[in-house]
Structure 1
Amino acid sequence: MDLLDLPDNPVPPDTAVVAAVTGDGVTLRVARFPADRRPVRGTVVIFQGRGEQIEKYFRVVGELRARGFAVVAFDWRGQGGSARLVGADVGHVGRFSDYRLDIEAVRRQVALPDCPPPFFGLGHSMGGHILLAAAEILPPWLSRLVLTAPMLDFQGQSRARLRRIAGLVCALGLGATGTPGHGERVAAVRRFEGNPLTGDRAMHRIMMDLTAIRPDLGVGTPTWRWVLEAARSMDRMDEPDFPATVPLPVLMVNSGGDRIVSPAAVERMARRLRTAGYVLVPGAEHEVTMERPAYRAQFWAAFDAFVPGSAA
């Protein structure tokens, strides 16, 4: 349950690391960070992407604390320092709705008892997808959502084809096996030149160091069950009645240069939602909050304009 402390990515001061246990018995690693200034403006809960870990967000945590927010960050089931479901070499989930159990555990056991209201959600990639899919159950706890590069469709791959293949593999009882091609994807990510995550060299080095020093914080390829459940959840979001299930204000921040999730799908969803704001950051790679300063500044300007009381 400890956090990895690196010289260029130190654990923020006054951090508390605790465990939360979900309704189905999965232990989650959760961290609480107090605000750095007064008055305290509430709490931002970070909902990370697939394969990420709390440590990756230390710089984001610092930005939020300096704005007067307390912060909660946690590792989803099956990744980071939380309990693994079928082993560390694959990223697995039985159903995407299981992630709602993680949200509920963090809400009841950490956020509500120990953190100041009001509460806001900051979700990235898979975390943004999970928040949007679960939006109907989030109020009155979370009052606004900020989603960066939410995973609403796969980029450069046919969802229908992936769904068919994953469905067949799962029907054969092999849903917990990993998808192929992971080695090539990892190699592309680990090289700074041309990587699809960020153009910020220092942040890229931190991302790579985290799992090089602590391999247990990393996660391997998604399983075929994860792919199938992700595709089914995306299909649900495409249904005409889905926008009516999102009752709270949402800011969608789209990375114009994204090569991991589909920027076009993010833009389409922003048009469909009744309560959505939309910001495009042209040229930004997938990790806009961890990008070069010019891109990060655009994100934080949008965040400050959207989240009540956040401007300095």
Structure 2
Amino acid sequence: MVPSNPVPAGVRVGYVTTPDRVKLRYAIWPKSAGPHRGTVCLVQGRTEYIEKYFETIADFQARGFAVATFDWRGQGGSDRLIGNRTVGYVDRFDDYWTDLRTFHAEILLPDCPPPFYLVGHSMGGLASLYATTRDRVMFDRVFLSAPMVCLHGMEHSIGGFGALAETLSFLGLGAVPLKRRGDKRPDEAGFLDNPLTSDLLRYTRMVDIIRADDGLYIGSPSFRWLAASMKAMVEANREDFAGRLQIPLLVLAAARDTIVSTPALEQLGLRLRNGRHVVIAGAKHELFIETDPVRGQVLAAFDAFITNQTR
């Protein structure tokens, strides 16, 4: 128990195993107030874990939604895939589709009230985009927070760097981490130049969570993760990709994002046929753990796009 991060009421925690035998940790919550509105399926970004979203889960519960979420393979409380537990790794980006499809079939459908709404952040946002191209009936609407369609400053180099990472993986270096200054464990001293949030209390809460359970920590990405993810990002930036997204979709971008490319998100938003994009002024990458004024805009956008559509 982390005092700064109380568990929302009514949680049920368990594990589900994918067809390729990866064990995923999941949690589901009932609504806490209001009329029944269905279930929010919340999928996380790289390095994240269920506990990081407790505040946001409670926000969804209070709006009348049940909430279902899980840790992607290789992070959180799910199976880690290589010997070094602190290195982000995945064999193929399609493996995240396997995780989501398994969770939908084994947990959402039998245990959670419909309709289902997909909410994805960062890497989970990119996985959500791919999910909508694979199955158009799994979710009624999709709400994305800074989806990882391109990395900041790499709008013209993502393909080349991805090819390099693929080559290094082929040469047997796939599990080797690309070490970066920002991948160390969070601590209070890192707040001033952190790229995630402007909110000191919410940043400190992330520090508290990792200190309480260091097993949740993920640091640098591996070259195999980079190769898989950059290949997926290249595809998401093709002009014809947006035309394959037929589910109603809202994309939120952070104006001060230094992790995901906001210009790339704006280009995707302009191409959408059944959706739109909104840039949140003053926001850093982690829209759900930003300051109250930023979170207020994010939740207002959620209400306009999803909550109010359920009445």
Tell me, in whole angstroms, the C-alpha distance in 2 between the residues paired with 1:188 and 1:93: 21
Shift of 1:156: 2.4
Tell me, in whole angstroms, the C-alpha distance in 1 between the residues paired with 2:219 and 2:298: 29
Tell me, in whole angstroms, the C-alpha distance in 1 between the residues paired with 2:136 and 2:201: 37
Counterpart of 1:206 in structure 2 is 205
Counterpart of 2:268 in structure 1 is 269
Tell me, in whole angstroms, the C-alpha distance in 2 between the residues paired with 1:188 and 1:82: 19
The counterpart of 1:15, out of the listed 11, 18, 43, is 11
Asked if structure 1 preserves the Cα contact closer than 8 Å seen for 2:195 and 2:257, the reply is: yes
Counterpart of 1:225 in structure 2 is 224
Asked if structure 2 preserves the Cα contact closer than 8 Å seen for 1:41 and 1:309, the reply is: no
Deviates more, 1:46-55 or 1:108-117: 108-117
The counterpart of 1:65, out of the listed 45, 50, 61, is 61
Deviates more, 1:158-167 or 1:106-115: 158-167
Consecutive unaligned residues of structure 1, counting only runs of 5 or more, are: none
Q: Quick one: percent identity of the two aligned structures? A: 40
Q: How does 1:74-223 map to 2 (within 5 A)?
A: 74-87=70-83, 88-157=85-154, 158-181=157-180, 184-187=181-184, 190=187, 191-223=190-222
- Matched letter for residue 3 of structure 2: P
- Matched letter for residue 256 of structure 1: A
Asked if structure 2 preserves the Cα contact closer than 8 Å seen for 1:192 and 1:201, the reply is: yes
Shift of 1:251: 0.3
1:54 aligns with 2:50: yes
Shift of 1:164: 3.3
SS of 1:259 mapped into structure 2: coil
- Matched letter for residue 14 of structure 2: V
Tell me, in whole angstroms, the C-alpha distance in 2 between the residues paired with 1:138 and 1:200: 37
Asked if structure 2 preserves the Cα contact closer than 8 Å seen for 1:189 and 1:195, the reply is: no
Q: What's the CA shift string for 1:37-80, capped at 9, x where partnerless?
A: 24210000001000000000000001000000000011000000
Shift of 1:238: 2.2
- CA distance 1:135–1:212, change in 2 (3 Å): same
Q: What is the count of residue pairs matched by the alignment?
A: 306
Deviates more, 1:248-257 or 1:163-172: 163-172
User: What is the TM-score of this pair, normalised by structure 2?
Assistant: 0.94
SS of 2:172 mapped into structure 1: coil
Shift of 1:303: 0.7
Asked if structure 1 preserves the Cα contact closer than 8 Å seen for 2:239 and 2:271, the reply is: no
Shift of 1:200: 0.9
- Matched letter for residue 79 of structure 2: A
SS of 1:221 mapped into structure 2: coil
SS of 1:298 mapped into structure 2: helix
Shift of 1:233: 0.6
Tell me, in whole angstroms, the C-alpha distance in 2 between the residues paired with 1:138 and 1:13: 32
Counterpart of 1:307 in structure 2 is 306
Tell me, in whole angstroms, the C-alpha distance in 2 between the residues paired with 1:263 and 1:113: 37
Tell me, in whole angstroms, the C-alpha distance in 2 between the residues paired with 1:155 and 1:66: 34
Counterpart of 2:241 in structure 1 is 242
Tell me, in whole angstroms, the C-alpha distance in 2 between the residues paired with 1:162 and 1:212: 34
SS of 1:29 mapped into structure 2: strand
- Matched letter for residue 156 of structure 1: G
Asked if structure 1 preserves the Cα contact closer than 8 Å seen for 2:86 and 2:219, the reply is: yes
SS of 1:25 mapped into structure 2: coil
Tell me, in whole angstroms, the C-alpha distance in 1 between the residues paired with 2:115 and 2:159: 40
Asked if structure 1 preserves the Cα contact closer than 8 Å seen for 2:237 and 2:264, the reply is: no
Tell me, in whole angstroms, the C-alpha distance in 2 between the residues paired with 1:106 and 1:92: 20
User: Cα RMSD between the aligned structures?
Assistant: 1.6
Shift of 1:180: 2.4
Shift of 1:177: 1.3
